[in-house]
Each structure stands twice: as structure tokens, then as C-alpha cells.
Amino acid sequence: MIRAESLTKLYGALRAVDGISFTVQPGEVLGFLGPNGAGKTTTMRMIAGFVPPTSGRAEICGFPVDDQPIEARRRLGYLPEGAPCYGEMTPRQFLGFIARVRGLDGERRRSRLDDVIARLHLGRVLDQRIETLSKGFRRRVGLAQAIVHDPPVLILDEPTDGLDPNQKHEVRELINAMAKDKIIVISTHILEEVEAVCTRAIIITAGRIVTDETPAALIRRSRHHNAVTLRFEQAALLREAAAELRSLADVEHVELDEAARAVTAFPRGSALIVTAVADLAGAKGWPLSQLHLESGRLDEVFRSITEQEAA
């Protein structure tokens, strides 16, 4: 379990992190979201024991990070921001070094190294110096060092930053595969990542937690949640369609996008209007090129939450 108790960090007069508390249980994948400078990295550093908090405390698996740092760190796999490595080493040397420091030896070290090298597809670059590798490979070396000792707790600061879409997908698969019995905390800017891997999302702004809920709950806050968009082949019918849609019982309002030849109907509350809209379109015989039910837009929720807090 990870426990953070009113973690606070002051840099001079700046409250970088301002009383953050949460606990994470095994099986949870917690996504840390927030604008740049919101305090995500500082919070993760305090939990990892790199930055001492001004006040408050953090625990990993019951070991306080400040009083029993070695015990806490043994149970932690940590990918720092930017995935720093020793550039003059090769991945083979570097991962071997981390495994030795982590107390793995003999057959266990060999099998763990083989496992992470295979999982992160590092076989091809094992004997190249890390500083000569692409950003994507460097990030994967950083991830490999975080999981080499198979820790119960993982803290990953932007694990997919700099990866291409295929690599992003692979890292998400990796996180999902490990998620069952581990505690995982990731920070990210990429909102789709939260939907793809997280069971819980915390948004922080200006050093405070502003929301703490599941990604599904978060997405329900979007005004596009359950909205239906109709795209027409010709622009001629747009206004008529908008008027017809407005008359439907559960439709709160309708938006027109002339350029995209689209009409979007927003429901009252979270009412399901897709059947009614589809029936109407069928009855009227509208020539549609697309009918789209939106689940919601996380970026919209993110923006509305963080901007409202900043204002």
C-alpha cells in the first residue's frame, strides 16, 4: 500500500505541493493528472524519498519513507521524470548494475534480466551505449530498471513520454499485465492513457487534489457525455434537422457546425437519446454519413476542472 498523508512541499514562498493525501491499494492503477507545474513530479519524488517533504509523510508497504528509507525503497520500482540513466553504460551493464544493487544474484538475476529485456524488447540494443539510443529506447531502459526486481509498488513519472504510438501501446499492455497484484502510480499528460490503463484518476492543480475518481466517472462529467452527433452529406438539411432534434423530449440543446456539416444534440442530464435521435433520422429519411454517440471528452473535463481551479 502507498499512503500519503498531507504531503506538503514549499520552495521558498511557493507551495509546490499543498497537503496531498491519498492511499493506493494493490490492484489499483492510479493516474496522476494535472497541468505542468501542478506538483505531480514533486509529489512522486516525495513518495519515492528523493525530495523530503516540508511537512506530512509518505509510506510504502507500511514503511515510512523518511524513517525506514531502505526498506521502503526495496519495495519500490521508480522511473524518475525524464528516465535518467548512466549514458556511458550499455543497457546490459546498466540493468545488471541495478539488479545487483537491488540484491538479485545468481540464477534469479539472470532470469529477471532476461524477463525485463524480453518484455521491453531491448534485445537489439543491449550492447550499445545508452546515450546513443533513441528516446524511446532510453525510456524503455528506464522502465526495465524500475521493474527488474519485480517490486510490489511502481511509481512511473510519464512512462510513455517520447514513445511512438506502437511503443505507447506496448507500455500500456505492460502496465495492464502487471496491474493485477501491484500498486502502480503513473503521471501523464496523455488523457487517453488514463482511460487505457488507470482504475483511478487524481487531478491536481496548484499542488492540491481537485478530483479523485474513476476515469469512467470523470468522463461522465463531460458535457459531451451521451451526446449524439449527426453528420450530413449536404449542408441543406442542417437547420431543419437542428429544429427537429430540439423538439425531442430529452434533448437539452443542439449545436450546429456548418463547416463539418454536423449537428450535435446534447441530452438533459445523462439521459440516453441515441435511440430517439436514430429513430427520428430514420423516420425523416435524412441522408447521413455518420451517426456518432459520444462517451465524453476527457480533455474537456480536464480543462474545465483545472481552469476553474486556476481562476
Partner 1 sequence: MGGIRIIAGRELAAYFATPLAYVFIVIFLALMGVFTFYLGGFYERGQADLVPFFNFHPWLYLFLVPAIAMRLWAEERKSGSIELLMTLPVTTAAAVIGKFLAAWIFTALALALTFPVWLTVNYLGDPDNGVILAAYLGSLLMAGGFLAIGSCISAANRNQVVAFIITVVVCFLFLLAGFPVVLDFFSGWAPQALIDTVSGLSFLTHFNAISKGVIDLRDVFYFASVIIAWLYATTVVLEMKKAD
Contact residues toward partner 1 (CB under 8 A) are 45, 48-52, 69-70, 73-74, 76, 78, 80-82, 84-89, 93, 97-98, 100-103, 129, 145
Residues 6+ apart with CB under 8 A from 230: 241, 245, 262, 263, 264, 265, 277, 281, 286, 288, 290, 291, 292
Count CB atoms within 10 A of the CB of residue 252. 15
Rg (C-alpha) for the chain, rounded Å, is 24
Q: Are 138 and 159 in contact (CB under 8 A)?
A: no
> In this complex, which beta carbon is closest to partner 1, that of residue 100 or of residue 284?
100
Q: How far is the CB of 102 from partner 1 (least distance, A)?
A: 7
> In this complex, which beta carbon is closest to partner 1, that of residue 62 or of residue 84?
84
> In this complex, which beta carbon is closest to partner 1, that of residue 104 or of residue 206?
104
> In this complex, which beta carbon is closest to partner 1, that of residue 70 or of residue 283?
70
What element of type H or E holds 69? helix 69-74
Q: How many CA atoms lie within 13 A of 253 on its CB side?
A: 4
> In this complex, which beta carbon is closest to partner 1, that of residue 145 or of residue 160?
145
Q: How far is the CB of 48 from partner 1 (least distance, A)?
A: 5
Identity of the amino acid at 151: P
Q: Are 228 and 293 in contact (CB under 8 A)?
A: yes
Distance CA 202, CA 32 (A): 5
Q: How far is the CB of 100 from partner 1 (least distance, A)?
A: 5
> In this complex, which beta carbon is closest to partner 1, that of residue 55 or of residue 86?
86
Q: How far is the CB of 94 from partner 1 (least distance, A)?
A: 9
Q: How far is the CB of 145 from partner 1 (least distance, A)?
A: 7
Q: How far is the CB of 144 from partner 1 (least distance, A)?
A: 13
Residues 6+ apart with CB under 8 A from 225: 219, 270, 294, 295, 296
